[in-house]
C-alpha cells in the first residue's frame, strides 16, 4: 500500500473519532503528510509540547490576562511566529509542519499554534472564523481577541477595520462574526484554503484531494459535494461528477445553485457513456 494511501486512511481514522482539541493538530499534520513523504507527525507534536514547555517556564506563576499577554509575547516576539506578508499564498504557509519549522504562516495555521500551545499551558483559546482573516479568542473574565498573524490583541474597532479591508468600505461589523468555531470547522477551513491555493495554480488533482478530505470531516457539507463534482469534471471523471451532482439535487433540491447543477447534469446525461 502506498504511503499516500496509508496517510489518507490514518486521516480517516483520526477524524472518524471526532475532531476535537486533542487531535486537531494531528489531523492538521496528516493533511501535510500527503504532500511530505514520511512526515514525522509525532515529532511535530513533540515540537508543540516543547514550545509549551518553554512558554510555561517563561510565564512562570502568572495568571489571567498577564499569562495570556505573556503567551502572545512569547510566540510572537520571542519565538518569531508571524504572518507571511511577503508571500501570503505560498503553499507552505498552510502546512502546520512548515509553520513550525519556518515560523511564518497564514492566520489560521498561526492560530492553530496559539491554540495548541495555549491549551498546554492553561490558556484556553478558541478559533474565530472571521471573514478573510482567522482570529483567536480567549473567553476569560473578559473576552480578548487575538490576531496571531500580527501577534496582537484587537478591539472591536480594529476587527471592523479588518472586515472592511476584506469586504469593502460598506461592510458592517457584527459581534456574531467573532463567534468561536469548532475544531471541525477549523479543519474544514484549513482544507478549503489549501483547495483554493491549488485551484489558483490549476492543480486540480490536489484540489480534489482537499475536497475529498473536507467531505470526510463534514460529510453533510452539500456545497462541497457540488464543488467536488466541478473538480471531477475538470479531471474528466464524468461518472463521479454525475454521481455527486445527482446526490446534491437529491439532498438540496431547493438550493440557490440547484438550477445550475440540474443544467450541468442534463449536459452530462446527454453526452453519452462516461469516460471514467
DSSP string, the chain: --HHHHHHHHHHHHHHT---TTTHHHHHHHHHHTTSTT--HHHHHHHHHHHHHHHHHHHTT--HHHHHHHHHHIIIIIS--EE--S-TT-GGGG-HHHHHHHSEE-HHHHHHHHHHHHHHTT---EEE--TTS-EEEEESSSEEEEETTTTEEE-HHHHHHHHHHHH-TT----GGGG-B--HHHHHHHHHHHHHHHHHHTT-HHHHHHHHHHHHHH-TT-HHHHHHHHHHHHHTT-HHHHHHHHHHHHHH-TTSTTHHHHHHHHHHHHTT-S---
Residue 230 included in any domain: yes
Residue 27 and residue 147 share a domain: yes
Nearest by Cα to 181 from 107, 138, 128: 128
Tell whether the model's pLDDT for residue 41 goes beyond 80: yes
Residue 276 included in any domain: no
Residue 225 and residue 115 share a domain: no
188 pLDDT band (50/70/90 cuts)? very high
Please state the domain count of the chain: 2
Domain boundary among 150, 178, 206: 178
Burial of 235 (0-12, 13-18, 19+ CB in 10 A): middle
Residue 74 included in any domain: yes
Residue 142 pLDDT = 86
Residue 173 and residue 228 share a domain: no
Residue 274 included in any domain: no
The DSSP letter of residue 27 is H
Domain boundary among 149, 178, 207: 178
Residue 105 included in any domain: yes
Q: Read off the CATH number of the domain in which 227 is found.
A: 1.25.40.10
Tell whether the model's pLDDT for residue 215 goes beyond 60: yes
Tell whether the model's pLDDT for residue 7 goes beyond 80: no
1 pLDDT band (50/70/90 cuts)? very low
Residue 261 and residue 165 share a domain: no
CA distances from 275 to 64, 89, 231, 263, 272 (A): 61, 34, 15, 20, 9
Residue 239 and residue 160 share a domain: no
Most confident segment among 8-12, 32-36, 49-53: 49-53
Domain boundary among 143, 178, 213: 178
Residue 255 and residue 132 share a domain: no
Residue 140 and residue 67 share a domain: yes
pTM: 0.91
Domain that holds residue 219: 185-191+198-269
Residue 135 included in any domain: yes
Q: pLDDT by residue (tens digit) across 230-262?
A: 999 999 999 999 999 999 999 999 999 999 999
Range 15-43 average pLDDT: 89
Spatial neighbors of 240 by CB under 8 A, at least 6 apart, are 229, 232, 276
User: Hey, is 203 helix, strand or coil?
Assistant: coil
Residue 139 and residue 212 share a domain: no
Burial of 31 (0-12, 13-18, 19+ CB in 10 A): buried
Residue 253 and residue 149 share a domain: no
Residue 3 pLDDT = 64
Cα(173)–Cα(60) distance, integer angstroms: 37
Residue 235 included in any domain: yes
Residue 203 and residue 116 share a domain: no
Residue 242 included in any domain: yes
Q: pLDDT by residue (tens digit) across 107-124?
A: 999 999 999 999 999 999
Residue 14 pLDDT = 80
Beta bridge partners of 184: none
Residue 89 and residue 170 share a domain: yes
Cα(263)–Cα(210) distance, integer angstroms: 26
Residue 204 and residue 163 share a domain: no
Amino acid at each position: 500500500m502506498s504511503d499516500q494511501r496509508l496517510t489518507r486512511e490514518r486521516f480517516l481514522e483520526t477524524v472518524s473519532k471526532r475532531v476535537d482539541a486533542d487531535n486537531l493538530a494531528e489531523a492538521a499534520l496528516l493533511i501535510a503528510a500527503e504532500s511530505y513523504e514520511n512526515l514525522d507527525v509525532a515529532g511535530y507534536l513533540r515540537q508543540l509540547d516543547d514550545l509549551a514547555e518553554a512558554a510555561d517556564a517563561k510565564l512562570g506563576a502568572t495568571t489571567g490576562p498577564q499569562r495570556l499577554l505573556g503567551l502572545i509575547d512569547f510566540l510572537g516576539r520571542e519565538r518569531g511566529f508571524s504572518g507571511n506578508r511577503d508571500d501570503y499564498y505560498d503553499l507552505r504557509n498552510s502546512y502546520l509542519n512548515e509553520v513550525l519549522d519556518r515560523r511564518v504562516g497564514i492566520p489560521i495555521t498561526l492560530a492553530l499554534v496559539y491554540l495548541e500551545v495555549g491549551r498546554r499551558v492553561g490558556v484556553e483559546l478558541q478559533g474565530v472564523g472571521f471573514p478573510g482573516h482567522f482570529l483567536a479568542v480567549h473567553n476569560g473574565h473578559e473576552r480578548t481577541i487575538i490576531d496571531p498573524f500580527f501577534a496582537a490583541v484587537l478591539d472591536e474597532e480594529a476587527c471592523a477595520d479588518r472586515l472592511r479591508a476584506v469586504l469593502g468600505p460598506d461592510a458592517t461589523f457584527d459581534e456574531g462574526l467573532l463567534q468561536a468555531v469548532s475544531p471541525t470547522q477549523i479543519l474544514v477551513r484549513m482544507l478549503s484554503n489549501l483547495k483554493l491555493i491549488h485551484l489558483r495554480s490549476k492543480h486540480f488533482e490536489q484540489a480534489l484531494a482537499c475536497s475529498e478530505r473536507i467531505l470526510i470531516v463534514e460529510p453533510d457539507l452539500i456545497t462541497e459535494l457540488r464543488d467536488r463534482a466541478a473538480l471531477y469534471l475538470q479531471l474528466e471523471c464524468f461518472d463521479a461528477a454525475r454521481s455527486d451532482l445527482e446526490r446534491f439535487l437529491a439532498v438540496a433540491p431547493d438550493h440557490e445553485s440547484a438550477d445550475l447543477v440540474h443544467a450541468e447534469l442534463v449536459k452530462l446525461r446527454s453526452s453519452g457513456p462516461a469516460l471514467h
